[in-house]
Chain A
Amino acid sequence: MGLRTLAGMPPALSVQALEKRYDGVQALAGVDLVVEEGELVGLLGPNGAGKSTLVKIACGLVRPTSGAVEICGAPPTSADARRALGYLAELFRFPGWYSADELLSLHQRLAGSDGDRAERAELLRLVGLDEAADRSIDTMSKGMQQRLGIAQALIGSPRLLLLDEPTSALDPAGRRTVRTLLEELRGRGVAVMLNSHLLSEVELVCDRVAIISRGKFVAEGSPEELSHARGVEIETGSGMHSFPDAEREDAPRLVADLVARGESVYEVRILRTSLEESYLEVVEDTQE
């Protein structure tokens, strides 16, 4: 029996003691994770850490060696789980001879979606491809195909979206479109697990971040929780004063000291590590 939230609804994704071994290589070594409805979780980790394996097991594409995964309370290979799931693989490809609209139509039939043409038009609009509905996939750029992949993953209004590097081929405008879309989905209660190397994107959009290294979670929390104080900088009339060991709570005292010494204070900056810096610290620690 899977985990239950207080409201009695199973979480969108529940992973318990998950292990996966490929021919002697331990890809996942006992992973636990829960993604609740409407939560946007970023999955970070170096290449080969086990991110894609975790996502593929959640989709039922890879069999776990041991442990359990449930999608909305159902095993990942069940029809119920798949009806609740949207997925975009890192290395995906769609039949080049299909148009964007035909591809979505195929996935509507496979997903048993009754959304018809209106759903397809809406999804293409959401990813900025409304002008390319009849364009063959062969003639689309990689970025357009990636946006189409996101539209495909949204067929049938999934409750959980698993996106493996969904913005890797997108330009800044495309990334912004996806970011806005993810925020909109969160507002609708859709849970999203975002596997990405673009830490700035993850930091901007995710509620929670889980860092995986060598098949294990090594850190987990909100982007704010994962960052830590990196000092205080105060700009005065005589120049910049740095206090690398100070924290936010020290700022009023430091300002008062400077003013007492006759300095004119123009700006105070509380410095914290970025997600990228926190990530590198955690990962480098575990790689040593």
Chain B
Amino acid sequence: MSAVRVIAGYALQEAVRRRVFSVVLWLTTLFMALYGLALWQVFKRVADIHPPNGIEPRPFAGATVFGLSMFATMFLGVVLGVFLTLGVVGGDAERGLLQPLLVRPVSRTQLLLGRLVAAVAVCTVYVACVYTILLLMTGLIGGWWPDRIALPAVELAAGVATVAALSLLGSVFLSATANGIAVFIVFGAGLVAGLLGSIGEALGSGTLKTAAHVASWALPFEALYQDGLAKITEHTAGFASFILKLGPFGGAHAAGPLLGVWIAGYVLVVSALALAGFTRRDL
């Protein structure tokens, strides 16, 4: 485990020295300022919002803007996670950075694990902090609090960790640039599938709903996001629930207790594939 710790520390040091964190911090601050402005405007005029019958304007506005902020949190977390992992194998090997590390008593498993641990730790802390700040802003400015507080944050962090694991897998087979493009395309595909699900829900199309459901489990960061969205209005029932669950970038869908098991298995399989590919790769 000592080598894993050293590699994880190296990855974190790299992120700090290459100013990845400062760039993300500036972008996050900018986003939060814009989110605060949006909150202030929305809730200043909340009385002018007329949602469908049976829904209070404040929960409607709160769930919608907070659902959007959850998407932004996940997106920013994914940007961070991908930049921490996209060049771990292919990129670093091409630049000659990887070989000096791997001739030490460090196995390829330890190297991958160290890099994944560092990325997941950073992204989890990041998502937790951003989510908490946005939650407080929404509650304090808008006077609306989600039904479930902690679990949606855990699911967003798990979604980001899943994308980081996919990015690590891609880095074994692709150059850094190709991997970055591929991971963002996969991430975008998940979101598009979520949108299709929302459209299917609104139109009552079983085919679209099934396609979206399959896609959200094949790319489970989307299922996690949808489940997180469902949890913020978990105690709302009836037609109001239906309207709120149409949510942004993929409707809210409670995934059920199997999602956690699925995610754990998914990340394990992705990591095992990455290791198998890395073990066979000549450097």
**Which residues of A are at the interface with B, using a C-beta cutoff of 8 A?**
22, 56, 59-63, 77, 79, 82-83, 85, 87, 89, 91-95, 97-98, 106-107, 109-112, 149, 152
9 closest A-B pairs by CB: A97-B17, A110-B104, A93-B96, A79-B105, A61-B283, A82-B105, A62-B282, A87-B103, A109-B6
B3 within 8 A of A: yes
Q: Is the CB of A62 within 8 A of B3?
A: no
* Smallest beta-carbon distance B281→chain A, Å: 9
> Among A22, A59, A92, A152, which residue has its beta carbon within 8 angstroms of that of B96?
A92
Besides A82-B106, A87-B100, A110-B104, 18 other CB < 8 A contacts? A59-B99, A60-B103, A61-B102, A63-B282, A77-B107, A79-B105, A91-B96, A92-B96, A93-B95, A95-B97, A107-B104, A109-B2, A110-B6, A110-B101, A110-B105, A110-B106, A112-B2, A152-B100
B242 within 8 A of A: no
B10 within 8 A of A: yes
B18 within 8 A of A: yes
Q: Is the CB of A94 within 8 A of B100?
A: yes
Residue from B99, B100, B282, B283 having most chain A Cβ neighbours under 10 A: B100
**Which residues of B are at the interface with A, using a C-beta cutoff of 8 A?**
2-3, 6, 10, 14, 17-18, 95-97, 99-107, 280, 282-283
Q: Is the CB of B10 within 8 A of A106?
A: yes
Q: Which residues does chain B contribute within 8 Å of A111, judged by CB atoms?
A: 104-105
> Among B17, B103, B105, B282, which residue has its beta carbon within 8 angstroms of that of A112?
B105
* Smallest beta-carbon distance B84→chain A, Å: 14
Q: Which residues does chain B contribute within 8 Å of A98, judged by CB atoms?
A: 17
* Smallest beta-carbon distance B159→chain A, Å: 30
Q: What is the CA–CA distance of A110 and B106 in the complex, to the nearest angstrom? A: 7
* Smallest beta-carbon distance B92→chain A, Å: 9
* Smallest beta-carbon distance A259→chain B, Å: 61
Q: Which residues does chain B contribute within 8 Å of A59, judged by CB atoms?
A: 99, 103
Q: Which residues does chain A contribute within 8 Å of B104, judged by CB atoms?
A: 82, 107, 110-111
Please report whether the interface of chain B is mostly helix, strand, loop or mixed according to DSSP.
Answer: helix
Q: Which residues does chain B contribute within 8 Å of A62, judged by CB atoms?
A: 282-283
Q: Is the CB of A89 within 8 A of B99?
A: yes
Q: What is the CA–CA distance of A98 and B106 in the complex, to the nearest angstrom? A: 20
* Smallest beta-carbon distance B2→chain A, Å: 8
Q: Which residues does chain A contribute within 8 Å of B17, judged by CB atoms?
A: 95, 97-98
Given A93-B96, A94-B97, A109-B6: A60 and B102 interface contact (C-beta under 8 Å): yes
Q: Is the CB of A95 within 8 A of B14?
A: yes
Q: Which residues does chain A contribute within 8 Å of B283, judged by CB atoms?
A: 56, 61-62
Q: Is the CB of B97 within 8 A of A61?
A: no
Q: Which residues does chain A contribute within 8 Å of B102, judged by CB atoms?
A: 60-61
* Smallest beta-carbon distance A156→chain B, Å: 8
Q: Is the CB of B100 within 8 A of A61?
A: no
Q: Is the CB of B105 within 8 A of A61?
A: no
Q: Which residues does chain A contribute within 8 Å of B14, judged by CB atoms?
A: 95, 97
Q: Is the CB of A61 within 8 A of B18?
A: no
Q: What is the CA–CA distance of A62 and B101 in the complex, to the nearest angstrom? A: 14
Q: Is the CB of B100 within 8 A of A89?
A: yes
Q: What is the CA–CA distance of A85 and B107 in the complex, to the nearest angstrom? A: 15
The 19 sampled A-B contact pairs (Cβ below 8 Å) are: A56-B283, A59-B99, A60-B102, A61-B283, A62-B282, A87-B103, A89-B96, A92-B96, A92-B100, A94-B97, A95-B17, A97-B14, A97-B17, A107-B100, A110-B101, A110-B104, A111-B104, A112-B2, A152-B100
Residue from B14, B101, B283 having most chain A Cβ neighbours under 10 A: B283
* Smallest beta-carbon distance A195→chain B, Å: 14
| B17 to A, closest residue via Cβ | A97
| B92 to A, closest residue via Cβ | A93
